Amino acid sequence: MNVRKIRWLVQTAFFLLVVYGVYKYAQFVYYGAVRPDFMDGFCPISGVYDIIMKIRSGVTDPFHPAAMAIMVAAIVTTFILGKGFCSFICPVGTIQDYITFVRNKLSFFKKIDNFGEKIKSWKFYNFIDYSLRSIKFILLAWILYIIFQIPAQMMAMMNQNINATADIELFKFWIELFKGNRPVVALILAIIVLLSVIIPRFWCKYLCPLGAFYGIFNLFSFTHLRRCPEKCNNCKLCSKCIVGLKPYKSVEFNNTECTMCLDCRSACNKNAVRLQILGREIPSLLYPALLVGTFMGVIFLFMYSGVWHSQLSKRDEAFLILKQGFNVKWAKELLMK
Q: How far is CA 235 from the centre of its chain?
A: 32
pLDDT of 164 > 90? The answer is no
Distance CA 250, CA 265 (A): 13
pLDDT for the residue numbered 234:
83
Q: Grade residue 233 by pLDDT with cuts at 50, 70 and 90.
A: confident
Distance CA 237, CA 31 (A): 52
Amino acid at 155: M
Q: What is the pLDDT of residues 34-59, one digit of tens each?
A: 999 999 999 999 999 999 999 999 99
157-161 average pLDDT score: 84
pLDDT for the residue numbered 88:
96
pLDDT for the residue numbered 114:
66
pLDDT of 215 > 80? The answer is yes
Q: What is the pLDDT of residues 109-149, one digit of tens each?
A: 776 766 666 676 777 778 888 899 999 999 999 999 999 99
**Residues in contact with 155: Cβ distance below 8 Å, sequence separation at least 6, in sequence order:** 49, 52, 53, 56, 57, 59
pLDDT for the residue numbered 271:
83
For every residue of 76-145, DSSP letters joined together read HHHHHH-THIIIII-HHHHHHHHHHHHHHTSTHHHHHHHHHHHHHTSTTHHHHHHHHHHHHHHHHHHHHH
Contact between 213 and 48 (Cβ < 8 Å):
yes
- Can you say whether the dihedral through the CA atoms of 90, 2, 120, 100 is positive or negative? negative
pLDDT for the residue numbered 1:
65
Provide the strand spans (E) within 223-293.
223-227, 273-277, 280-281
pTM of the full predicted structure? 0.93
Q: In the chain, pLDDT over 90 holds for what percent of residues? A: 66
Count of positions (residues) in the chain: 337
pLDDT for the residue numbered 116:
63
pLDDT for the residue numbered 134:
94
Of 205, 152, 128, 161, residue with least CA distance to 323: 161
pLDDT for the residue numbered 129:
86
Of residues 158 and 29, more confidently modeled: 29
For every residue of 227-246, DSSP letters joined together read E-TTT-----GGG--TT---
Q: What is the pLDDT of residues 169-205, one digit of tens each?
A: 999 999 999 999 999 999 999 999 998 988 889 999 9
